[in-house]
Structure 1
């Protein structure tokens, strides 16, 4: 064991002792904590907190301890919510005190993600940022102006997939990034080697690797943030510095592009141009608009990739669902054109399929909230500063709410034989309270149009290798944003007519 490791462990123990003794001497709970796994003296449940697919462990806690379970680690209290009812009662109905974010020393402070909405503490800047996003993307009706962009770029996606179906994931990522860059900044991406796409992909990759709490010791000992970069074991400081440079470049470069285009009088309508036009902003307001645009980009790009990739996985595994969806498109839209947003109200099965994509593969399985005041909920004590985690995965896989939840079944969201549809997954898959995803309508639209157009022209099936049919594994990744495990599938045009639709000029 290295000297640094010994010193770090000693610091941890001393910190734990200090916290433990302080709480024993000065804290008198007004009510008990909820039940949960029994922790160790001084350090609490530090060994019980899961970092690989934590939603599965949290779900087991829910079965054992009830709707609210409690653990602590080095004095930090963590409460896990496994039911929609409890999450609504706490995070929606008492959102004024349950809307903060926990401090994340590495990702939030050192790298700088706290400047974006997902990590931003609750306060004036947070409210301003959400207000800007809601002003542009706050309803389906507000997004109508951006629908031609989504339809055009999805047509281009079909062409790419038809030409190189074995690069499906690359095409999905490219298209999602292209759409969100055009909508946020009015920036049209080059087909190959676009410099802004390169920066964006680096930001998303770094976020997926370093964006969650617990990966670095500094998250448990914030004082380590003060050690110099050259200090042994402080390699995290170099990582943070490099990531911060990339993040700030991504925030500044496309924002400057918008301003330059507006100065030249050639800026297309976009999120940024709408918030900048006919206004003189203060330095603070300008900074908020800049980071709000980045928040929309970072919040929408990777989540959409996950959802659309999971759609292709579902179609590979559930051919009967694919046939029903295609039959509806054929009957309503016909073979002579591609579906458009104008058809959405007439395609109830495709609508249900979109809901099922969001339920079956939970893109953001958990979300961290932080409470700003002491609270008593359902007889339990929730102290100020505690982390409160709604287990969204568990809610969307609750057999009391969704019959056979592991099965991909869009019909659960349709009325049939007098039976009411099951709860719309979009009710809570985008989060709760004042931390509800402000770009949910944009995400929903992107998933819907990609689903409808792809089904209109492609048949998706299992790959056959050496005479053996390959069945993909359903294995979602860990991390803030969960992605399906990479898989192989066969993607072929449905007909000669479909090929002609794919090859139509999308420009």
Structure 2
């Protein structure tokens, strides 16, 4: 007799598969068109065993080579479509955004950890639109985003000073700076120089998000009924993990929000995204909730992307010194030796701009994107896409597709510059932050990048430009041996390079003096 104490995951999968099969036999109806091609699944459980856990974008790319740009699999009755084409992704998720803008219910991260109230996981509807409306006031146009340029310049100057003092803590400095920029904008909060509690909370919350959304990482996402199993049940360790992650998330969302409200009562609140939305007429509980989560979504949508891209830049410059020298020569010619670059120089630094684009293409921040969910049955290119299907864009492949980028394995910023009558290659930001109405909340609409800047992109650009002006970045030499860093992404939905060593030194005595100047003389402009 099978007892509750010796039920295995395989037992649960088989029982669930049988249930799915029986329900399908009762409810089955003839499809109006065939499903897209894909790997053949097993009876009852479908393609459960085909789902990759390590570097899923590579497996998805193999499927694309074998089955075409649209690949279909089925996992315990849930349809999943993988897209390996930018053109197809745009046709589906941009042109048909009404049908393709849903978010799937992901039990672990949404219900158990509590991210269901944040913008990236909200279903398309009134609450989604309210948070989007709130965020549009901050990043909805170039003029709105430009208000925060001075904050980003100040914090980046401080970043240079930290790197100069402790170059071996590069990744920590990048995280600190990204958090400082967003928290200043979202809550008017100026972070502590060391061990800031909000920076620590935010980093843990976003790291937990990246782990919780890894494809197939938690059985509860494959077998949703397990949400109901008690904590003491054998194999329910995910519930204890979720409880700890939920406590971190709730504190990060609520603590800075409460700080702003307390400051407003005391009349000491700096002008910020949160204080502006809360001031004036009475704010209902629902509106307060929307403001609180909008502010956190601003952090979740921008900070980790900035960290990943900036760290990738330092890795690229360690590996490709010729590219670094060319960008530095451009900055030296335009900016000169007596100051650091500012946003005012951006339009005059085309190679540096191209370098930023190549960093975003070379190390894809979100390789498989966040899944969309189809809200209505659809026929696309002759294939049946049923309601509830998960849509997963293989963004990594799109940015490494030889049909779009010449020699994609090469790190080559010049691919984004017009030369000898040849047009630049495809702008990577049209895909690297997502598609349609579910594009990353730190980003403006992908078709409007020429007219508006998102906070993450601006922070990445100023960090790269100032770092190029200030530092020479090279390989570390240990015991007479030059150490070449490995290009290897860490696991997680948001891709970060594996930690690496590099040598960072000031380029000249003049630059050293510029870095040592106290950045505090620059005043934050908090006017919204």
- State the TM-score, normalizing by the size of structure 1: 0.97
2:512 pairs, out of 488, 496, 499, with 499
Aligned residue number for residue 194 of structure 1: 196
1:226, distance to aligned residue in structure 2 (A):
1.3
Q: Are the counterparts in 1 of residues 485 and 501 from structure 2 also a CA contact under 8 Å?
A: yes
Aligned residue number for residue 247 of structure 1: 249
Aligned residue number for residue 62 of structure 1: 64
Aligned residue number for residue 15 of structure 2: 14
Q: Are the counterparts in 2 of residues 4 and 233 from structure 1 also a CA contact under 8 Å?
A: no
Aligned residue number for residue 223 of structure 2: 221
Provide the C-alpha distance between the structure 1 equivalents of 2:97 and 2:281, rounded to a whole number of angstroms: 32
1:51, distance to aligned residue in structure 2 (A):
1.4
1:371 pairs, out of 369, 374, 386, with 374
- 1:29 maps onto 2:31 in alignment: yes
User: Aligned in 2, Cα 1:395/1:154: closer, same or farther, shift over 3 Å?
Assistant: same
RMSD: 1.5
Deviations 1:195-224 (A, max 9, x none): 222222221232232233522221122222
1:78, distance to aligned residue in structure 2 (A):
0.5
User: Aligned in 2, Cα 1:282/1:217: closer, same or farther, shift over 3 Å?
Assistant: same
Provide the C-alpha distance between the structure 1 equivalents of 2:179 and 2:80, rounded to a whole number of angstroms: 35
Q: Are the counterparts in 2 of residues 36 and 61 from structure 1 also a CA contact under 8 Å?
A: yes
1:36, distance to aligned residue in structure 2 (A):
0.6
Q: Are the counterparts in 2 of residues 104 and 213 from structure 1 also a CA contact under 8 Å?
A: no
Q: Which stretch shows the higher mean deviation, 438-447 or 20-29? A: 20-29
Provide the C-alpha distance between the structure 1 equivalents of 2:158 and 2:8, rounded to a whole number of angstroms: 56
Aligned residue number for residue 455 of structure 1: 468
Aligned residue number for residue 116 of structure 1: 118
Aligned residue number for residue 479 of structure 1: 492
Aligned residue number for residue 47 of structure 1: 49
Q: Are the counterparts in 2 of residues 185 and 270 from structure 1 also a CA contact under 8 Å?
A: yes
Provide the C-alpha distance between the structure 1 equivalents of 2:205 and 2:486, rounded to a whole number of angstroms: 28
- 1:406 maps onto 2:419 in alignment: no
Provide the C-alpha distance between the structure 2 equivalents of 1:365 and 1:173, rounded to a whole number of angstroms: 20
SS in 1 for 2:7: helix
SS in 1 for 2:332: helix
Deviations 1:296-318 (A, max 9, x none): 11221211110000000010011
1:264, distance to aligned residue in structure 2 (A):
2.7
- Consecutive unaligned residues of structure 1, counting only runs of 5 or more, are none
1:295, distance to aligned residue in structure 2 (A):
0.9
Q: Are the counterparts in 1 of residues 301 and 441 from structure 2 also a CA contact under 8 Å?
A: no
Q: Are the counterparts in 2 of residues 138 and 439 from structure 1 also a CA contact under 8 Å?
A: no
1:3, distance to aligned residue in structure 2 (A):
6.8
- Give runs of ≥4 in structure 1 deviating > 3 Å: 1-8
- 1:490 maps onto 2:503 in alignment: yes
- State the TM-score, normalizing by the size of structure 2: 0.93
- 1:310 maps onto 2:323 in alignment: no
In the TM superposition, 1:134-153 aligns within 5 A as 134-153=136-155
Q: Are the counterparts in 2 of residues 100 and 369 from structure 1 also a CA contact under 8 Å?
A: yes
- 1:445 maps onto 2:458 in alignment: yes
1:227, distance to aligned residue in structure 2 (A):
2.0
1:232, distance to aligned residue in structure 2 (A):
3.0
Q: Which stretch shows the higher mean deviation, 433-442 or 75-84? A: 433-442
Q: Which stretch shows the higher mean deviation, 214-223 or 60-69? A: 214-223
Deviations 1:84-139 (A, max 9, x none): 11111110111111111111111110110111111222221111111211121112
Aligned residues: 507
1:269, distance to aligned residue in structure 2 (A):
2.6
In the TM superposition, 1:52-451 aligns within 5 A as 52-367=54-369, 368-440=371-443, 441-451=454-464
Provide the C-alpha distance between the structure 2 equivalents of 1:480 and 1:253, rounded to a whole number of angstroms: 26
Q: Are the counterparts in 2 of residues 107 and 212 from structure 1 also a CA contact under 8 Å?
A: no
Provide the C-alpha distance between the structure 2 equivalents of 1:47 and 1:261, rounded to a whole number of angstroms: 53
Provide the C-alpha distance between the structure 1 equivalents of 2:437 and 2:372, rounded to a whole number of angstroms: 10
1:2, distance to aligned residue in structure 2 (A):
11
SS in 2 for 1:205: helix
Q: Which stretch shows the higher mean deviation, 280-289 or 72-81? A: 280-289
Q: Which stretch shows the higher mean deviation, 230-239 or 147-156? A: 230-239
